[in-house]
Amino acid sequence: MRALDRTRFGVALGNWFGKARQMLKRLSITRFKSVRDQQLEFGRVNLFIGGNGTGKSSLLEAIGLTSACLGRGLGDSDISQKGLRLTPPELMKSSFKNESLPKTLELDACFSNGLDYKVVLQSNARDPLLSIFSESCYSQTHKIFGRSNRGASATGVSHATRLEKNRGIWDQIKATYEIAPEIDQEFSEFARYVIYTPQTDFLRGKQAGRVDVPPVGLHGEGLPQAVSTFLETYAAHRRSTRGRTPTAAWNILDACVRLVWLPGWASTFGTHVAKPLLTSRDVVDRASETVYFLDRFMHGSRNRLSVYDSSEGSLFLLFAAIILSHPLSPKVFALDNVDNALNPKLTRKLVETIIEVCSRSQNQSSDVGAKQVFLTSHNPTALDAFDIFDDDQRVFVVRRNDKGHTVADRLTQPKGASREDWELMKAGRNLSQLWLDGDIPGALGNI
């Protein structure tokens, strides 16, 4: 049994170390679903807002598809493990009225260390999977690898072995050629990108499923095991930082644990194997370890609440804490509907923590903590966590233009406006208020 008591935490502030700024800087998307042609410049934390059906999730999927090309490939299981919808390949390509488009879709990803990866994907009506038509990777002007219908090469050497058409070249050659470790690290981290869409039934244990990308499934599968190992990590860091300057990793773990306390009713959370008679018959696996919370307002003899009986918001925050700071979590990921089950204030607090974690993780070179996160939200208070003057924090308003193409515009202050100027211009209102008042063009959709 592992547990964490809120009274044991102190405030911790970290040191700032050198910056290692690895991340996806830019993605050009051409002919993918409703995205006809878009180039997005990303920050460390990126939030997509806009009406329903405008293409926010498609943008997350475009990143996922790029990641799949640098990961295990385009097979159904590879795609679904990333949280992408198993859309038939023909429907992955854009289709618009009165537009005759090439039969391919293109993704061009530029990373902060100068790597530029471009892939062209194709499918025919009878193909069950997308396949790779061509791909290339350059570091500045130096070609790292590439493939086309004329053959493949890596590090300047022709690659003689036949390549699988549904897998990217990187995953097939990386063990064979000597490639700079920073490239390997960048691609390996990005290849683990997934889209999390937590669902209450999985978090509560009413539904079970596989954990394809540790530590936790995309919908919350395997949460008890993830919490258990998270608490082990937390305990180890607490021991190692006792009496010393807190490390970046500790600060990140601490910030994430604080998320769980935010609703204010729980005094402890942990994992244990509950007595079957004290476990709901609705829970799929009643014999294994499960997550519990102690309610600080209930009598000590009957204050242990299983995930089945706990607040949905607390579960969601626990899930967020895990994906943000578990050592096994992907460093680059998306969280679709970050406001899921949360009240407006908690939504803002969660997004603030995400921004804090990404900043600490990157700026303090921590091996714990997310490095780049992509979010969607329909809750205006998510915006209030963002400082749009900071290039690391970016909000995109996603809409469909008059042709139906998805367009994503970055929310920025008017050109040349200082913080003070802008404060006067927006009459001291928060971004959330501007959104609700319809003052952010396109953010309320076309209703």
Q: Which residues bind other proteins (CB under 8 A)?
A: 397, 407, 409-415, 417, 422, 424-427, 434, 436-442
Tell me whether residue 24 or residue 411 sits nearer to other proteins (CB atom).
411
Least distance in angstroms from the C-beta of 436 to other proteins: 7
Residue 298 C-beta: closest distance to other proteins, Å: 36
> In the complex with other proteins, which residue's Cβ is closer, 91 or 424?
424
Residue 147 to residue 145: CA distance in whole angstroms: 7
Q: Considering beta carbons, is residue 99 or 437 the nearer one to other proteins? A: 437
Q: Identify which of residues 200 and 430 has a Cβ nearer to other proteins in the complex.
A: 430
- Beta carbon of residue 381, minimum distance to other proteins (angstroms, whole number): 17
Q: Considering beta carbons, is residue 208 or 434 the nearer one to other proteins?
A: 434
Residue 416 Cβ vs other proteins, minimum distance, rounded to whole Å: 9
Q: Could you give phi then psi for residue 334, rounded to 5 degrees?
A: -120, 145
Nearest CB to other proteins, comparing residues 39 and 148: 39
Q: Which is nearer to other proteins, 21 or 429 (CB)?
A: 429
Closest to 371 in 3D by CA, of 97, 67, 24:
24
Report the DSSP beta bridge partners of residue 102: none
Q: How far is the CB of 216 from other proteins (least distance, A)?
A: 36
Q: How far is the CB of 418 from other proteins (least distance, A)?
A: 13
Smallest distance, other proteins to C-beta of residue 105, A: 24
Is the Cβ of residue 255 or residue 440 nearer to other proteins in the bound state?
A: 440
